Structure 1
Amino acid sequence: MRITLGLFFLIYISTFSIVAYSQDNQIQLKGIVPGKQAKNIQIVEQRISANIYRDYSYVECYYHLRNTGAEVEAEMGLPIMNFVAASQKNVNLYDRNSFEVLINNRSIGYRNIYIPNELREITGRKSNKNAVNRYYKKNMPGYAWRILFPENGELQLLVKYKLPAGQTNSFNYFGYQLAQSALWKGKIERTEVSVNLAGINPDALISVAPKTNEQNPQNFKWHYKNADSKDYIFVKYQGGFSRRNSFERETASNSIKFLLNNKKVSEKKIEKQKKTEIAFVKRSENQVNVFTKDFVLKSFANEVSERFPDIKKRIEKLDTYKFDTSYILILNGRRVNRNKAYETLYETHSTSIKSLELKDDTNSGKTEISIDTQKITTYGA
């Protein structure tokens, strides 16, 4: 299936841009780890669901979190995984769109995900492989976000991501290290893991560890109660080493559903879109949703129409060229990167806006869209 390279290479491969494809592609996945101010946070329950294909896996990690202390803004995140530390030449830790994080079923968006300062300081240099390895061993967040917990408060966290399979010369594998109680407050009360051989023939399965009685030819499950959750889930299957191109072809299968501004369209319709008019792209396991700049501006105008009618009138009259060249987006006092401006507007809901102003600068000819949002359950650095 032919796919326009410039757009869809980013859509499908951005998640994997930090992976070095070598003859021994060692992939180890891990659960979330605590960062600053998280000493009183307990993982009450974790549920891990993985769909495994020949060359990649799609993983969803659910966590029920509990604050056992006073109100706190706790940091947590995904650790650096082995494939990052082992592939330093291709590391791209700033690709924050490579996974999705939801708090109480609400996506926190790219702007609420950041690279901790300690890791930021050791990335981007040629001689930092050892430093990144040391950071990895500390079980500290590689990508982080902050969550505002009320006193004794609880919430639901969902992390989704898609990664290539672990590969050796003789087999492929899926490996996952569960979140560990030792890193958090108290024990993890309930753990459930489900691994589904979504794109693998059961005859190709070599081994599964640890052993479990809950299984059928396509699915394996593990349950733990009040355990330290030290187990490392390891599924080994036939496949052997395969090149990056085969992984790209696998992800670009006919099962992909294409949407344009939330409406189902054909692949050809997507290919005809001018790249200069594409605002951003959302992708999931089997779906690609392309948003155009004009659609985003109209959506934002409609979103704020009731509370800010005057601003709505100005926004809906804007053409995308004028917005791109003459408008600057400021969110909570910080300038938003031009590449993320449209997505930020689309993700900003009227109910979360505390103040919204348009500020014209006669000297520069620019107009600032200044948005201040209410403090909700999450926010970014």
Structure 2
Amino acid sequence: MHTDAGVFGRSHELSARSHEQVMFCEDDKTGLKAIIAIHSTTLGPALGGTRFYPYATESAALEDVLRLSWGMTYKAAAAGVDLGGGKAVIIGDPAVAKTEALLAAYARFVETLGGRYITAGDVGTNTDDLDVIGRHTDYVMGRSVAAGGSGDSARLTALGVFHSMRAGAESVWGTASLAGRTVGIEGVGKVGRELTALLLADGAEVCVTDVNEAAMQRVSQEHPSVRLLSTVATAPVDVYAPCALGGTLTDASAEAIEAKLICGAANNQLANPLVEQALMERGITWVPDFVANAGGLIQVAGELRKAAATEVEADVAGIFERCRDIITVARAEGIGTGAAANRFAERRLDAIPRSL
């Protein structure tokens, strides 16, 4: 990406499907600086979480929200839900800058969009924050059960990644089980912790890493068999599961990764599109992130339509078949799994005339 391309230029660099709307939100009283990006409302209102993160620059924040909102369009389309793609970022360290007043100010900006954008949780925001936001706008999903929501989406996000990993394992080793396989999880926040438990229950050996030492120690206390490493991306593991921030699959790491399968919860895992080709040439199967991590989106989509919890969980389990189909098409046509997943999503998007 070119950091001097401007808002319109960056949107077009990402995809021929440009963003519909980008909203810059500032509130001097609370110190709020946020960006809301609506990529597409073709399939329905744009839904995507609010990321609260101490970006080094406003340009970096803009880059992230454009990429994330674009990814949400494809995630929703591939997941089969009737939602569009959007995302928001709040610039700042949530441990220092987050206040109820700031979240309320942010919620009022969301409200002005009249439902074109529906927010949810993401890095740096949790159900408590969404409960606060929900007191100032109706356009929020993922609130606590006590506040009428479906609760934290980490469990179902992890469940979707687990089923995706099973589909990947089937394609690589011939069995949809991780038993006896070593999985390296990068990032053991809410989703990574849930994924650790699922993998251990399936018989996998798990090693983890995280920039947050406390997060690693918490997982170690919960699961003493888990090994703590300084890095898992290039460790001798069968499966590399990036579950922190994106961009870890670079030209350099693609040449150093020992895993035969890559499947994780992080968004925008490829630093650039050419990385997927490098992985293919080395015989490494990559499960596209926007397919693997759709469990949380499916959960909030279910909340929006008031679906039963059992129905939502069954929909998340359906990610297995979707990943299996994508991998099968990719191999049959000699294309990357990312390209195969994009085709799947674009068929849904192209079936509906674009309109604002």
Kindly indicate which of the two structures has a greater share of residues assigned to helix: 2
The answer to whether the superposition gives a TM-score over 0.5 is no
TM superposition score normalised by structure 1:
0.26
Bigger Cα Rg = 1
TM-score (norm. length: structure 2): 0.27
Name the one with the larger strand percent.
1
